[in-house]
Amino acid sequence: MRERFALNWLRIPSGMRRALLLVLVGWGLLLISDRISEFRVYQGASVATYFVAIVSIVLLTGYSGQVSLGHGALLAIGGYSAALVMQNLHWPFWIAFFAAVFVAALVGALLGVAAARLSGPYLAGTTLAFAVGLPSLANQFSFLGGEQGLPFDIGVAPSRFGENFSPYKWLFWISALFALFAVWLAANLLRGRYGRIWRAVRSDETAAALSGVNVARSKVLAFTVSAGFAGLAGALLCATVSLVTPGGFPLSLSFAILTGAVIGGVRSLVGAVIGAFTLVILPMVADAIAQGASDAVSTNLPAVLTGVLLIATIVISPGGIAESLSHLGRKIALRRQKRI
């Protein structure tokens, strides 16, 4: 019975298999959201948001080989773009989210042109300067709301969901839906032509160029696509707090996203899930450890724990937790085959 099911499953085209799996995962998430507390539902929305942000790093760094220390600025562009569209044009939030993707991708394309001529620490330094300088621009233009920011209201759930359908659950459904769409799109990109090109450029730019790949164009495209995902993550992040402000996109946000990608596995979409859970769970662990401690300890402990986990991951499993789990799974499978 299992063999017949496996054969029938393998006969389905790979793209359709991925779509079916995502539908099943989405259905499972919806069922889970009805059986957990409001706080856990809110955390689930945060996990979905961080997941989309880390996917943008996976696309750019894990597959294209370009290092960015300023993706928090691209999240800010996405958040502000969505807020301005909803406030001035009065468009629904889902159209505003796609506007965030478009504007962030456009800015990413401009950055990509510069990135195509830079590499290593020069590219990292440029993106770092971009992340430091961009949030301060909100104080220079009144239409961006200054330090007070702009409201970001996605509204309440449609009445057909019932009166007991909470705003947190509505937020989770929206975040999960866009996260599933993001992973479907990213999986298809990475398993297609562009994924192969980005891997070739990451491995050896000279060899890729000799084989006919336009290296500069591939880098610009990778930065553009990555920025689009970051813009979507920025809109989702602002939706979780119902506000978009310069203080919501500090430099530490860029480092946190990159840290989550490294811990989970910078070359794996599964690693993006692990990294997103890590970023949400670590503050809870820090709060539990710091009970009764001073304010200074409570404030700095999450960063300390993140740094310790990052160093431990690099030393023990340089490829991230996802890669270690993959190796472990292959070893178990080989042992089973030997027993048979």
Q: End of a domain among 249, 267, 288?
A: 249
The answer to whether 54 and 260 have CB atoms below 8 angstroms apart is yes
> Is residue 256 situated within a structural domain?
yes
Q: End of a domain among 192, 221, 249?
A: 249
Q: Which pair of tokens denotes residue 224?
A: 């553009």
- The answer on 242 and 262 residing in a single domain is no
- The answer on 266 and 233 residing in a single domain is no
- The answer on 260 and 240 residing in a single domain is no
> Is residue 4 situated within a structural domain?
no
- The answer on 266 and 255 residing in a single domain is yes
217 phi and psi angles, rounded to 5 deg: -65, -40
- The answer on 277 and 230 residing in a single domain is no
> Is residue 279 situated within a structural domain?
yes
Distance, CA of 106 to CA of 117 (rounded, Å): 18
- The answer on 234 and 142 residing in a single domain is yes
The answer to whether 297 and 250 have CB atoms below 8 angstroms apart is no
> Is residue 122 situated within a structural domain?
yes
What pairing do the DSSP bridges indicate for beta strands 150-151 and 243-244? antiparallel
> Is residue 1 situated within a structural domain?
no
Return the exposure string of 177-198: e unless at least 16 CB atoms fall within 10 Å of the residue's CB, then b.
Answer: ebbbebbbebbebbeeebbebb
One-letter amino acid for residue 249 of the chain: F
The answer to whether 152 and 234 have CB atoms below 8 angstroms apart is no
Of 72, 98, 100, 71, the closest CA to residue 84 belongs to 100
pLDDT tens-place values along the chain, 340 residues long: 555 545 555 556 666 666 777 778 878 887 888 788 888 899 999 999 999 999 999 999 888 888 888 888 999 999 999 999 998 888 888 899 999 999 999 999 988 887 777 666 777 777 888 788 777 777 777 778 777 888 888 877 777 777 777 888 889 999 999 999 999 899 889 888 888 998 988 888 888 888 888 888 898 899 999 999 999 999 999 999 888 988 888 888 888 898 899 998 888 888 899 999 999 998 888 887 877 677 666 777 777 788 888 888 888 888 888 888 887 777 777 777 777 6
Domain count, the chain: 2
Q: End of a domain among 194, 224, 249?
A: 249
Q: Which pair of tokens denotes residue 205?
A: 């730019």
- The answer on 83 and 148 residing in a single domain is yes
Instruction: Categorise residue 184: left if φ over 0, alpha if ψ from -120 to 50, beta otherwise.
Output: alpha
- The answer on 265 and 130 residing in a single domain is no
Three-state DSSP state, 150: strand
Look up the domain containing 273 and give its range: 251-340
- The answer on 211 and 192 residing in a single domain is yes
> Is residue 6 situated within a structural domain?
no
- The answer on 194 and 130 residing in a single domain is yes
> Is residue 3 situated within a structural domain?
no
> Is residue 7 situated within a structural domain?
no
- The answer on 171 and 117 residing in a single domain is yes
- The answer on 225 and 94 residing in a single domain is yes
